[in-house]
């Protein structure tokens, strides 16, 4: 069903208060598509539509909404309705929503929750953002090593409706220490009389609650896991990160890196929902800062104004040379930022990567120098051509090395390497290129 048609159908159901039409729409369209159409509603309209659904359907649909839309809708719900919704939501999703509510709304909501839910929300909401603790859910299944397979399967049948996944279950001891893991497939195929401790795998890949979510997604991808168990400081199992939550986190990280690579601070909402003021506020700092960085290029030009006045033909090649250095630097930075993010390159690889980049940048510079030498002959003669060719080699090498080194340096001082891409590299390389170009010109033409 197309978005416009879906929106019109939902709107009619809201206006008419037609529960049958609302539920029929859920049966026809996927909840993710309905959630996308609901973004066109006001928060009050969205609440009216969701009130036509059963509580489980309401919670399922709510989980597909964008985080900011969830928070906006939650603010206009009554305390009792919101508490009922919380009881049906997945543990990690309700903790995320709880953190987006105001302190006043949080205090109003907690008394309406059951004690176990209240404690679970408080615990999961207490972990810092972008850590394994903030990403994990407490809805996981556990078994004991001394149980028989028959008992384990019976337990899983009872727990399945309330757990996020039962395809991988975790074997714990009396103190909740993780001692092994067993898959549902292994349980189904095993002899019913066999003990879990004889069936489980004891070598378990896990994460700690304070691990960065980027490290968590790397582990899930590297080991091809359905879920990753999360341990506290005493090696007790406190949650799991499922692959779908890890994928959402990976998309979020990639989006944030893309924004940082353009020198834009992390946006608090999707691009089609963010306000003009928010876009201005997130972009203005770096743009103003880079304006002052560009003054270095201007200072370089001013320093060599005598050379420029004497050889006006040099001005023709300045955009070409400076742009080439910026392009080479942006390429190197983009490759290095991504390699650092995926773990393909580590700090120990510094010397190897630097040596290879010098050779590649030199080859690129020579190739581009050959291309511009003829142009230099045509526009300014042999001497100008020599200046342009030598400057091209030097600018491309310098730009590539700056683009390569900046991500390493930022990573070393615990800053995000993504910041090194795009405008920051270009601004630094531009100033460097001006100095190199006119430095060569002054030296060679002065001879």
Q: What is the mean pLDDT of residues 111-119?
A: 86
> What pLDDT score was predicted for residue 56?
86
H or E element at residue 333: helix 313-342
What is the chain's mean pLDDT, rounded? Answer: 85
> What pLDDT score was predicted for residue 264?
66
| CATH code assigned to 3-126 | 1.25.60.10
CATH architecture under which domain 135-259 falls = Roll (3.10)
Q: What is the mean pLDDT of residues 189-200?
A: 94
pLDDT score of 265 more than 70? no
pLDDT score of 35 more than 70? yes
* Residue 259 CB-density burial (10 A; 0-12 exposed, 13-18 middle, 19+ buried): middle
Query: Which residue is associated with the tokens 């049906």?
Result: 88
Give the β-pairing of 237-242 and 227-231. Answer: antiparallel
| CB neighbours of residue 115 within 10 Å | 7
Task: Compute and round to an integer the Cα radius of gyration of the chain.
Answer: 29
Which band of pLDDT confidence, cut at 50, 70 and 90, is reported for residue 37? confident
Nearest to 180 by CA among 154, 144, 155: 144
Torsion of CA 236, 221, 62, 94, to 10 degrees: 20
pLDDT score of 86 more than 90? no
Of the given ranges (23-27, 104-108, 193-197), which has the lowest mean pLDDT? 23-27
pLDDT score of 190 more than 90? yes
Enumerate the domain spans of the chain: 3-126, 135-259, 276-446
pLDDT tens digits, 274-302: 777 777 777 777 777 777 777 778 888 88
| CB neighbours of residue 4 within 10 Å | 10
Per-residue CA distances from 318 to 311, 314, 330, 387 (Å): 12, 7, 18, 11
pLDDT score of 253 more than 70? yes
> pLDDT above 90 covers what percent of the chain?
25
CATH 1.10.3720.10 corresponds to the domain 276-446? no
> What pLDDT score was predicted for residue 353?
87
Which structure tokens are listed for 3?
Answer: 């978005």
> What pLDDT score was predicted for residue 261?
67
Which band of pLDDT confidence, cut at 50, 70 and 90, is reported for residue 345? confident
Reported in sequence order, the residue ranges of 37-160 that DSSP labels E, i.e. its strands, are 140-144
> pLDDT above 70 covers what percent of the chain?
95
């Amino acid at each position: 069903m197309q978005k416009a048609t879906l929106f019109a159908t939902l709107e009619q159901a809201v206006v008419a208060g037609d529960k049958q039409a609302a539920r029929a729409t859920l049966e026809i369209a996927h909840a993710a598509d309905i959630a996308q159409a609901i973004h066109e509603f006001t928060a009050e309209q969205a609440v009216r539509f969701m009130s036509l659904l059963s509580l489980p359907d309401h919670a399922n649909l709510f989980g597909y909404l964008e985080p900011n839309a969830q928070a906006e809708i939650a603010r206009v719900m009554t305390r009792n309705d919101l508490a009922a919704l919380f009881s049906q939501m997945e543990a990690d999703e309700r903790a995320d929503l709880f953190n987006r509510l105001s302190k006043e709304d949080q205090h109003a909501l907690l008394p309406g929750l059951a004690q176990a839910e209240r404690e679970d929300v408080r615990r999961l909401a207490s972990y810092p953002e972008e850590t394994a603790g903030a990403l994990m859910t407490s809805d996981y299944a556990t078994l004991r090593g001394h149980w028989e397979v028959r008992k384990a399967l019976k337990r899983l049948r009872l727990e399945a409706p309330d757990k996020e996944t039962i395809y991988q279950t975790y074997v714990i001891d009396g103190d909740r220490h993780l001692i092994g893991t067993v898959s549902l497939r292994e349980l189904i195929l095993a002899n019913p009389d066999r003990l879990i401790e004889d069936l489980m795998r004891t070598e378990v890949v896990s994460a700690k609650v304070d691990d960065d979510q980027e490290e968590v997604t790397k582990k899930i991808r590297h080991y091809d896991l359905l879920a990753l168990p999360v341990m506290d400081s005493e090696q007790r199992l406190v949650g799991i990160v499922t692959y779908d939550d890890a994928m959402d986190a990976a998309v979020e990280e990639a989006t944030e890196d893309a924004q940082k690579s353009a020198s834009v601070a992390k946006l608090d909402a999707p691009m089609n929902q963010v306000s003009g003021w928010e876009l201005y506020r997130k972009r203005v700092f770096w743009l103003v800062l880079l304006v002052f960085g560009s003054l270095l290029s201007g200072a370089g030009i001013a320093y060599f104004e005598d050379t420029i006045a004497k050889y006006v033909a040099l001005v023709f090649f300045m955009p070409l040379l400076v742009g080439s250095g910026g392009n080479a630097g942006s390429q190197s930075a983009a490759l290095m930022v991504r390699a650092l993010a995926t773990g393909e390159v580590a700090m120990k690889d510094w010397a190897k990567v630097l040596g290879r980049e010098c050779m590649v940048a030199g080859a690129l510079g020579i190739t581009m120098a050959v291309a511009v030498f003829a142009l230099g002959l045509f526009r300014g003669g042999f001497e100008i051509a020599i200046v342009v060719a030598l400057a091209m080699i030097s600018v491309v090498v310098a730009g590539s090395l700056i683009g390569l080194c900046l991500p390493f340096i930022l990573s070393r001082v615990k800053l995000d390497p993504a910041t090194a891409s795009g405008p920051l590299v270009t601004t630094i390389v531009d100033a460097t290129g001006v100095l190199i170009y006119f430095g060569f010109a002054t030296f060679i033409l002065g001879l």
